[in-house]
Amino acid sequence: MLTLFTAPKSFRGHIGMIQTNAIRSWQQIDSAAAVLLVGKEPGLEEAAAALGVQHLDSVTRSESGAPSLRSAFDVARRASPNRILCFVNADILLLDDFLPAVEQVAGRMDRFLVVGQRWDLEVREPLSFEGGWEGRLRDQLARSGRLHRPVGSDYFVFPADQYGDLPDFTIGRSGWDNWMIFNARRRRIPVIDASRGITVVHQDHDYSHLPGGRPHHGHPESLRNLELAGGREVSFRLEDADWRLDSGRLARKRFLDWRYPRKWEADLIVRLGPGKGSRRVRMAFRPGRTLRHYLGLPPPRARRKSNGDEGGKDE
C-alpha cells in the first residue's frame, strides 16, 4: 500500500547516524512498505545496501548539488509498487500511529494530502529497535521533546498519481512544503492536518551541510523556490489545512477550529491564485509584514528565532 521515499544528505557523522535511525524506524511500521532513497550523496548507495532498501540515483540536481523535487518525485513514482506515496525528510522518526492513520485516510478518500506538525528531540546515539522502543521514545519525548512551530510539514502522504507536474523546486530549501499545502487547497484536494493523530520526531542536527553552516531561509535556492511557488502569499501553513485527523476522527475543520481572520485571507488567496490579487489580499490583511517584505526587511520575529522566517523547512 505505502512507499516511503526521501532525499537524504550524506551518510557521514552525526547526520548519517540520525538518518539511519529514521530509516530503520520506517521499516518497523510496516514490513510490506517500500523504502526508496533518492539521490547521489556520498555514502548513500552503501547505506541503502546496508539497510536493505532501494537506491535511486537518476535524479537531477541544482547548481549547489541539492536534488530537484520534481525529479525526486518522478523517479519515486516510477519505482513505487504501491498506490500511496509518502515523502518524508530523512531525519524523521515514524511511530506505530503512522500507518493506521494513512490507512484510515486512504480508505475514505481518493485524493488527499496528509501533513502534520513534528516534535524536536536531541538524539546522540543509534537507537535500538528492540521490543518497546516506541514506548521508550515517547517517554523521552515527554521528558525533553519540543513541539515545533506549526509552519511547514516534514512529511507528505498522497496518492501516487496526484503530483505529476511539480515546479522545479529544490529539496532542502524552504518554500516548497508550504506550496504543497496551497496547491492542494487550490485544486480542492482535502488537506489533512494529522498533528493530533500522528507523532513524528525530528532528530536535532546542525547545519554543517549548508553554506556557512546556517539555516537556509536566505539561500538563493530558497528565494528561487519562493518565486516558483508564486510568492510569499501562497506560503500556506498547517493552520490552512481544511481537514483534521484527531484521536482517530477524520473530519472537516469546524468553524471554531479555524483561526480568524487568517481563514478569510487564505480562502481568498486560494480562490484568486498567485498574482496581484493575492498580493493585494495579503497586503490588506498584513500591511506591516508586507511592507517589510517589499523593503527587504526580515519579518518582525525572525531575528529572535534560530530557525528562520514564517514558513519552510530547517532540514
Which residues fall within 8 angstroms of residue 152, CB to CB, at 6 or more apart? 174, 177, 178, 237, 238, 311, 312, 313
Q: What single-letter DSSP state applies at residue 243?
A: E
25-37 tens-digit pLDDT: 999 998 889 999 9
- From the list 284, 281, 285, 286, the residue with the least C-alpha distance to 299 is 286
3-21 tens-digit pLDDT: 999 999 999 999 999 999 9
Number of C-beta neighbours around residue 17 at 10 A:
18
SS3 state at 26: helix
* Distance from C-alpha of 310 to C-alpha of 150, rounded to nearest angstrom: 10
Q: What pLDDT sits at residue 294?
A: 67
- From the list 178, 203, 235, 181, the residue with the least C-alpha distance to 315 is 203
- From the list 208, 138, 150, the residue with the least C-alpha distance to 181 is 150
Q: What pLDDT sits at residue 312?
A: 43
Alpha helices in the chain, H assignment, sequence order: 13-29, 44-51, 69-79, 98-108, 133-144, 176-186, 220-229, 262-272, 276-285, 287-294
* Residue 203 to residues 12, 122, 226, 312, Cα–Cα distance (Å): 15, 6, 26, 17
Q: What pLDDT sits at residue 184?
A: 97
Q: What pLDDT sits at residue 121?
A: 97
- From the list 188, 270, 180, the residue with the least C-alpha distance to 228 is 180
| Torsion angle (degrees, nearest 10) of CA 265, 227, 172, 27 | 60
In the chain, which residues have pLDDT < 70?
Answer: 206-218, 293-294, 299-315
SS3 state at 278: helix
- Bridge-partner residues for 35, per DSSP? 4
All domains of the chain, ordered by start, with CATH?
Answer: 2-246 (3.90.550.10)
Render 43-62 in DSSP notation, one character per residue.
Answer: THHHHHHHHT-EEE----B-
Q: What pLDDT sits at residue 211?
A: 53
78-137 tens-digit pLDDT: 999 999 999 999 999 999 999 999 999 999 999 999 999 999 999 999 999 998 999 999
* Residue 308 to residues 214, 231, 305, Cα–Cα distance (Å): 10, 17, 6
% of the chain surpassing 70 pLDDT: 90
Number of C-beta neighbours around residue 63 at 10 A:
8
% of the chain surpassing 90 pLDDT: 75
Which residues fall within 8 angstroms of residue 216, CB to CB, at 6 or more apart? 172, 173, 174, 207, 210, 222, 313, 314, 315
b or e along 109-138 (b: 16 or more beta carbons within 10 Å of the residue's beta carbon)?
A: beebbbbbbbbbbebeeebeeeeebbeebe
b or e along 230-265 (b: 16 or more beta carbons within 10 Å of the residue's beta carbon)?
A: bbbbbbbbbbbbbbbbeeeebeebeeebbeeeebeb
Number of C-beta neighbours around residue 290 at 10 A:
18
Q: What pLDDT sits at residue 252?
A: 97
Q: How far is CA 250 from the centre of its chain?
A: 20
